[in-house]
Amino acid sequence: MDRWKAQHRSTNEVRKGAARSGRLSTGIGFVLLLLATIHCAASLFFVNYSYLDLKAYANGSERMPYQGRMGMMPVLRLAERSPEFVAMTARVDRSLAVHTRSAFKSVSVEELASMIAGLVSLLAAVSVAAVYGWKRFRPAWWLPPALLLGMLYVTQSARYETTLWYPYDLPHAALFGTACVLVMEGAWVPVLLLFLADIPMRETGIFLVPVCLAVGWARGQMRQAATVSALMLAAWIPFRLYVRHRFAANPSELGVHWHSTLEVILNPVHWPQIASAFGFLLVPLCLANGVLSRAQRAFMAGALPCLLVTLGFGVWPETRIFGEWLLPAAVLLTAEAMAIFPPRMLLPVPIKRVVTRD
């Protein structure tokens, strides 16, 4: 009896130690993700250049279609009118001038406001990926945020051409990406709310409509999906008409870039940059989609025409044009990995009780 009690006590101590180790590993994982998020956000802004005149954008006089993505206008205006923020920008600029070398000759109020908004948005997107991973992929909860950051870094920081950033990209990616994840879960009301918040950020938020309809059909919730899609269109169309009217006098760069697209296709110099879309993971994502659920495959089918539209209007080497899809892509890649590599492969080795004999 005494020997059995000693063995039982020893087993409990080992299990408690494993639990403490698991909590410590989770805590370390969260800290590393936090540092990686800050690093990715900072590198995105510091190794790239703003394509927009941010003062003109804040005043409403930038070129279309960029000015029509007016969600960050009030943020930049608020920063410009805040004496405290202006003073903080001066301190940050002096610090960077001493300690860093970057694409910034000096940091403006608008640039700092864009960087802070981008960092907050990326932190939100990584948090969504981590929470969703904890809910759906517990043994590999860290994989969705890690994939998100890896794809973001490859497509928006580690670039050798078209190294540009825009103030609304990360806020839009966080809102749109979170909505996409909720679409796969069939959470229609939160999807609609996120869409309404995203309308001023970028016109491509309307890509939620085809993915909602596709997932709704796959989940047997077509009526809910159709209702939400109709409400999205009812809000999106008047807003786009308002934008077109308000900025009708602005110069425009809107159009299909046929000549540059043809040159990019024919010139091998651009091919590695083009292939880096989705962090070089688009082909594996498509090849392994057979292991996904019906709703997840429907999501990919609904996203396909949206990607083709993006290719039609976007500049192909500017791989940031696919940034809004990185969060759902990270979730789908994790689902594929968990199906191909069973979860038990990611769990600690089970503790076996050793029984000794005299």
164: which strand partners? 49
Report d(CA 279, CA 122) in Å as an integer.
17
Instruction: State residue 309's pLDDT score.
Output: 92
DSSP H or E segment with residue 148? helix 143-156
Instruction: State residue 4's pLDDT score.
Output: 52
Task: Locate 219 and state its tokens.
Answer: 């989940």
Instruction: State residue 299's pLDDT score.
Output: 97
Place of tokens 């299909």: 256
Instruction: State residue 228's pLDDT score.
Output: 97
Q: How many CB atoms lie within 10 A of CB 30?
A: 15
Instruction: State residue 22's pLDDT score.
Output: 62
Q: Are 282 and 307 in contact (CB under 8 A)?
A: no
Task: Locate 327 and state its tokens.
Answer: 């969060």
Q: What is the pLDDT along the chain (358 residues), one digit of tens a residue?
A: 555 555 555 555 545 554 555 678 888 988 999 999 999 999 999 888 899 999 999 999 999 999 999 999 999 999 999 999 999 999 888 887 665 555 556 788 999 999 999 999 999 999 999 999 999 998 889 999 999 999 999 999 888 888 889 999 999 999 999 999 999 999 999 999 999 999 999 999 999 999 999 999 999 999 999 999 999 999 999 999 999 999 999 999 887 777 778 888 888 988 898 899 999 999 999 999 999 999 999 999 999 999 999 988 888 888 889 999 999 999 999 999 999 886 665 554 444 444 444 4
Dihedrals φ, ψ of 351, to 5°?
-85, 125
- Which of 142, 157, 295 has the alpha carbon at shortest distance from 216? 295
* 3 state DSSP class of 107: coil
pTM of the model: 0.88
